[in-house]
Copies of this chain bind each other. A is one copy, B any other.
Amino acid sequence: MVPCCPPITAGELSQADAERMAAMFKALSDPVRLRLFSRVASHPGGEACVCDISDVGVSQPTVSHHLKKLREAGLLTSERRGTWVYYQVAPSVLAAMSAMLDLRT
Q: Is the CB of B101 within 8 A of A94?
A: yes
Decide yes or no: A12 and B29 within 8 Å by CB, A94-B103, A101-B94, A101-B97 being known contacts: no
Residue A37, interface by CB 8 Å? yes
Alpha-carbon distance between A75 and B50 when the two chains are bound, in angstroms: 33
Decide yes or no: A18 and B35 within 8 Å by CB, A9-B46, A94-B101, A101-B98 being known contacts: yes
Q: Is the CB of A15 within 8 A of B38?
A: no
- State the main secondary structure of chain A at its contact with B: helix
Which residues does A use to contact B, with CB under 8 Å?
8-13, 15, 18-19, 21-23, 25-26, 28-35, 37-39, 41-42, 46, 89, 91, 94-95, 97-103
